[in-house]
Structure 1
């Protein structure tokens, strides 16, 4: 406590005692008694007790104020955090509303639907070539990459600045084909070349595009030209042809009817030619 406050308290106490003393003491009594009463040790003790009480109360009040300030800071922090959470919740609700208004994404096609959109093929099938005018037997082999057709007398030439090729079908006497086409010369533009690596060495083969029919499938297919007359099937269909359009069931054969062309046998007589199949050949890629 400051000196001025202490002095003021002492003055207040003295004044009170003096007034009380004047009221209690008769006039004319010795002034020494009043001085003795004012300076008594009891007055100092009471003043000290009052001083301590005031100091303790001030300290308690300061502690309460500090506690209130700390609580206010906590409440302020909670209010700030609550405001941030409320803002985030509003943004999430807004985004949720925009997402609900957007059209739903298409569900992925199921495996069953994907299979239904593909044509099932046997390990061997009849294929037709409308531009050549014949049907041939084909082996379906996912182990091969590019399709291949048996060819001989392959001669490359240039026509109007483009690379072309002339060839004949390389067939043996047992291969089923329309007779008028067996020795027919066929011409086609070379679309690209492929490099074939075999045990006997490396070679480059021309690739042509031919329109082909197989059951419900009718599309242009790339074929490499090479002599397959030593193999059982003059046509090989690889995975490039089957990609996204066909599946193989190796336990079955000739699932689709043989195409019909002028000079050939009707499709209902194909079973006789199918019965002549030998054992599966080991394809040379």
Structure 2
């Protein structure tokens, strides 16, 4: 058998393939495009964010400095105005040097004036009258005490018409100024209530009675707790319940109101002598 020989078209086909193959092969001389890895991309983004944040911080700091500068300028202007006013006051004072001082009376508000005008002024000690008993007594005015107190001894409880009553005598010393014929008289009053008094030795329950009382132009029914005050200088103490809404205290004064007069008692004209003795007693 005769061997098969390549015909002419085959070498032409090979040549064409070689030529076309060379054309499809990428250029070995061109440079590849640069690429970023994910880590490098994140790092670059972080750098950009940090640069932007620093730029914003600088802007905020600048704005804060501008605000602070504006506030300082405003304070400086205010200080300048105050200084000019002070200089004017100094100049006016220098012009008045050698003249009598000018006193500017304080003005009370109308509301405060009306409130005070509707109340009676009392001193730290006053004469009070007990019209139902028929005597006058010295009283200490004390806003620190809640309920007023009357010196009483021989306090005895009893019942009348189903109600609690007490019978007592005025607790007085020989030096107490009083209408003499009432010293040993029994006084009877219904018990309004009872109050518990806390003391160092313990608590004590005291009866409270209501009695008509006069002090200058004031005439009121006053609640008194009954207790033995013979060891104290004043047989009567007037507390806040009496003072409320009707009186104010001038602690620098004594006996602003005249002593009431009762049958068998001393005339009101002799009260100043008793008041002097009272002041001596207080100072002692």
How far apart are 1:280 and its partner, in Å? Answer: 7.2
Structure 2: give runs of 5+ residues left out of the alignment.
1-108
* Structure 1 position 190 matched with structure 2 position 191: yes
For residues 148 and 109 of structure 1, what CA distance do their matches in structure 2 show? 35
Q: Shift in Å at residue 109 of structure 1? A: 6.8
Give the paired residue count.
174
Measured in 1, the distance between the counterparts of 2:173 and 2:198 equals 25
Aligned partner of residue 263 in structure 1, secondary structure: coil
Q: 1:109 to 1:152 in 2, by over 3 A?
A: same
Q: 2:137 — aligned with what?
A: 136
Structure showing greater Rg? 1
SS at match of 2:242: helix
What is the distance in 2 between the residues matched to 1:217 and 1:204? 30
How far residue 194 of structure 1 moved from its aligned partner, in angstroms, is: 0.4
* Unpaired runs of at least 5, structure 1: 1-107
1:270 positional shift: 0.4
Distance of 1:267 and 1:200 partners within structure 2: 41
User: Would the aligned equivalents of 1:138 and 1:236 in 2 still touch at CA under 8 Å?
Assistant: yes
CA deviation after TM superposition for structure 1 residue 272, in Å: 1.1
Secondary structure (helix, strand or coil) at the match of 1:219 reads strand
Deviations 1:208-260 (A, max 9, x none): 00000000100100000000000000000001100000000000000000000
| Distance in 2 of aligned mates of 1:229 and 1:276 | 18
What does residue 202 of structure 2 align with?
201
Aligned match of 1:51: none
* Secondary structure of the structure 2 residue equivalent to 1:276: helix
Aligned to 2:272: 271
Per the TM alignment, residue 276 of structure 1 is displaced from its structure 2 partner at its CA by: 1.4
Aligned to 1:125: 126
CA distance in 1, matches of 2:175, 2:208: 26
**What TM-score results when the alignment is normalised by the length of structure 2?**
0.60
CA contact (8 A) 1:232 1:280 kept: no
- In structure 1, the partner of 2:221 is 220
SS in 2 for 1:271: helix
**Within 2, Cα distance between the matches of 1:221 and 1:126?**
15
